[in-house]
């Protein structure tokens, strides 16, 4: 036994020096001498993993699990190795087996949930936590972890979106003009279900909606059922690019409605997603709601914005070297009275969604200063052209207004002192998936 302990310490020392092949050989010898010691199989698996022999690592971990089937760390380590090999179905089976073993063990469910979360398995972690709450309905830690994990999966901005009445009014106006009783409306991004329900209420004979996030799809289906639209609306819990028009939609749709937009307009993939839907899921010439989207912008300054993006003297100290970390952009929802507006509104990029997918573009934007002051950067927001009659935008108002979208501030690396009447030029860039702004150099 003493000789084995010495050899194990020798193996650990070799591994700590980065001599993993030597460590591997030593752990192999140890396993041969003591094949019933689970910890040695774990040591061997970890060396296999470091050296990239992942299948051998799996074999060693399974041997360890056969010796200690209830040891949590072994199953989590196995799941982590399987994740590196993208063995999704095997991972699901391992998670199910683990949850089955600890189904009624109140002492193990919480540690298992945290370990599964660390292993990148939030669904299994939630299952363990929900089981613990079934067993102990007042378990505070489990309840809080459930809320935190659900927030990670379903971000809080969904509530602002659901309560954005002006947005819903704009969508409904366009839907009422486009929809007939014979219309099959396809919606991308079910969310809370409000847009497909607006389409159904507008008179559509059939509505199909898809949602990539299975948790959101499930609650969207619940909302739709709760409001009595089961007969009209079908929810598909998959992303639009995985759908087949005949198999999933029962034929190409007549109208597309979507709200796959971010603060910066493009980050949720509206251009590529809409283009793919037009090509594969819609009838030729099908109306799109919105039919076009724009990135709107103006040059801004003011103390409130400057304090969120740069620093100078504070408490008698010069902190300006920290300005090398001025953010590329940040989300704001600002009262226009806090802004020093330095230019007129500018429609920087407009994308007509019924046209071909645009190419990445860089353009110089020239504008005239309408006031004097220090320009902090470009404030950008979104404008939606629902159809020829209705538009919606989240331009800074004269009061705070909750919106599904906030404005986005793109601070300049070097702020510029502007004089009223001066002509200035800044650069705007998009790569189909994102936007950026800076001074023209």
Give yes or no for residue 335 having a pLDDT over 70.
no
* pLDDT for residue 437: 94
Inside any domain, residue 267? no
Beta bridge partners of 346: 297
Same-domain pairing of 43 and 140: yes
240 and 377 belong to one structural domain: no
What is the end-to-end Cα distance of the chain in Å, rounded? 72
DSSP 134-193: HH-TT-HHHHHHHHHHHHHHS-THHHHHHT-HHHHHHHHHHHHHH--TT-EEEEE--TTS
Q: Is residue 204's pLDDT more than 80? A: yes
Query: Is the pLDDT reported for residue 71 higher than 90?
Result: no
Q: Are residues 237 and 141 in the same domain?
A: no
Task: Compute CA distances 6 → 11, 16, 32, whole Å.
Answer: 9, 15, 16
* Residue 385: alpha-carbon gap to chain centroid: 25
The pLDDT of residue 399 is: 46
Task: Kindly report the average pLDDT of the chain as a whole number.
Answer: 92
Pairing of strands 313-314, 317-318: antiparallel
For the segment 340-353, what is each residue's pLDDT rounded down to a tens digit? 999 999 999 999 99
Of 77-91, 246-260, 387-401, least confident by mean pLDDT is 387-401
> Does a structural domain hold residue 266?
no
Domain boundary among 104, 130, 153: 153
Is 423:361 a contact under the CB 8 Å cutoff?
no
pTM of the model: 0.78
CA gap 278, 328 in Å, rounded: 33
Residues 121 and 21 in one domain: yes
Domain endpoint, select from 100, 118, 153: 153
Is residue 140, in this structure, part of any structural domain at all? yes
Long-range contacts of 95-101 (CB under 8 A, 24+ apart): 95/121, 95/123, 95/124, 95/127, 98/72, 98/124, 99/124, 99/127, 99/128, 99/131, 101/69, 101/70
For residues 27 and 252, give the distance between their C-alpha atoms in angstroms, rounded to a whole number.
60
Residue 430: CATH number of its domain: 2.70.160.11
Closest by alpha carbon to 396, among 296, 316, 251? 296
- The verdict on residue 268 lying in a domain is no
- On whether residue 36 sits in a domain, the answer given is yes
Structural domain of residue 385, as residue ranges?
Answer: 292-439
Q: Are residues 92 and 228 in the same domain?
A: no
Q: What percent of the chain has pLDDT over 90?
A: 73
Q: What is the model's pLDDT at position 150?
A: 86
pLDDT of residue 403: 61
pLDDT score of 404: 67
Q: Are 426 and 369 in contact, with CB atoms under 8 Å apart?
A: no
Residue 139 located in a structural domain? yes
Q: Is the residue at 284 inside a domain?
A: no
Alpha-carbon distance of 382 to 177, in angstroms, equals 23
Q: Residue 271 phi/psi, 5° resolution?
A: -70, -50
- Do 196 and 329 belong to one domain? no
pLDDT above 80 for 222:
yes
Q: Mean pLDDT across the stretch 270-297?
A: 97
Over 60: is that where the pLDDT of 109 sits? yes
**pLDDT exceeds 50 at position 206:** yes
- Between strands 313-314 and 233-236, the pairing is unpaired
**Same structural domain for residues 301 and 229?**
no
Q: Which residue has the tokens 């959101």?
A: 216
pLDDT the model gives residue 441? 64
CA distance 47 to 61: 11
Query: Residue 112 and residue 422: Cα distance in Å, rounded?
Result: 63
Q: pLDDT, tens digit, for every residue of 149-198?
A: 988 877 777 788 888 899 999 999 999 999 999 999 999 999 999 999 99
- Please name the residue that has the structure tokens 């279900």: 193
Please give the structure tokens belonging to residue 358.
Answer: 């645009």
Read off the pLDDT of residues 9-53 as tens digits, 9 standing for 90 and up: 999 999 999 999 999 999 999 999 999 999 999 999 999 999 999
Considering the domain boundaries, does residue 307 fall inside one? yes
Q: Give the pLDDT band (50/70/90) at residue 288.
A: very high
How far is 33 from 28, CA to CA, in rounded Å? 9
Q: Are residues 180 and 230 in the same domain?
A: yes
3-class state of residue 239 by DSSP: coil
Q: Are residues 222 and 129 in the same domain?
A: no
- Both 75 and 139 in a single domain? yes
Same domain, yes or no: 141 and 178: no
Question: Are residues 426 and 298 both part of a single domain?
Answer: yes
Q: How many domains in the chain?
A: 3
What lies within 8 Å, CB to CB, of 187 at 6+ separation is 195, 196, 199, 207, 208, 209, 210, 256, 257, 258
CATH of the domain at 97: 1.25.40.10
- Residue 254, domain CATH: 3.40.50.150
* 188, 256 Cβ separation under 8 angstroms: yes
Which of 153, 175, 199 marks a domain boundary?
A: 153
Angle between helices 106-118 and 140-153 (to 10 degrees): 30
């Amino acid at each position: 036994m003493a000789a084995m302990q010495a050899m194990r310490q020798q193996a650990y020392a070799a591994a700590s020096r980065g001599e993993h092949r030597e460590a591997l050989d030593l752990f192999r010898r140890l396993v041969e001498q003591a094949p019933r010691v689970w910890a040695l199989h774990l040591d061997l698996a970890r060396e296999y993993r470091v050296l990239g022999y992942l299948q051998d690592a799996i074999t060693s971990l399974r041997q360890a699990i056969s010796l200690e089937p209830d040891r949590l760390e072994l199953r989590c380590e196995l799941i982590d190795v399987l994740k590196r090999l993208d063995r999704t179905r095997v991972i699901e089976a391992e998670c199910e087996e683990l949850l089955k073993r600890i189904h009624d063990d109140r002492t193990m469910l919480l540690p298992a949930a945290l370990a599964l979360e660390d292993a990148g398995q939030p669904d299994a972690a939630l299952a363990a936590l929900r089981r613990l709450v079934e067993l102990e309905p007042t378990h505070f830690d489990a309840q809080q972890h459930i809320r935190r994990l659900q927030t990670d999966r379903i971000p809080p901005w969904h509530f602002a979106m659901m309560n954005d009445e002006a947005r819903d009014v704009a969508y409904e106006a366009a839907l009422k003009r486009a929809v007939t009783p014979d219309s099959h409306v396809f919606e991308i991004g079910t969310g809370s279900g409000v847009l497909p329900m607006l389409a159904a209420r507008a008179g559509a004979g059939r509505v199909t909606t898809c949602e990539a996030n299975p948790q959101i799809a499930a609650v969207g289906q619940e909302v739709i059922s709760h409001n009595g639209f089961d007969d009209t609306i079908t929810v598909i819990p998959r992303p639009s690019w995985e759908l087949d028009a005949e198999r999933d939609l029962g034929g190409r749709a007549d109208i597309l409605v979507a709200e796959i937009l971010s603060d910066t307009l493009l980050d949720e993939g509206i251009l590529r997603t809409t283009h793919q839907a037009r090509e594969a899921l819609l009838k030729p010439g099908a109306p799109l709601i919105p039919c076009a989207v724009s990135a709107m912008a103006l040059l801004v300054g003011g103390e409130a914005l400057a304090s969120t993006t740069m620093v100078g003297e504070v408490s008698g100290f010069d902190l300006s070297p920290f300005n090398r970390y001025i953010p590329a952009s940040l989300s704001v929802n600002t009262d226009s009275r806090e802004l020093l507006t330095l230019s007129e509104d500018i429609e920087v990029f407009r994308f007509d969604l019924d046209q071909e997918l645009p190419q990445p573009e860089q353009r110089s934007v020239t504008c005239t200063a309408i006031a004097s002051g220090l320009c902090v950067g470009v404030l950008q927001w979104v404008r939606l052209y629902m159809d020829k009659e209705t538009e919606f935008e989240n331009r800074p108002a004269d009061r705070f207004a909750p919106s599904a979208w906030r404005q986005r501030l793109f601070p300049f690396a070097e702020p510029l002192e502007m004089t009223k009447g001066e002509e200035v030029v800044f650069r705007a860039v998009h790569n189909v998936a994102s936007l950026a702004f800076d001074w023209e150099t």
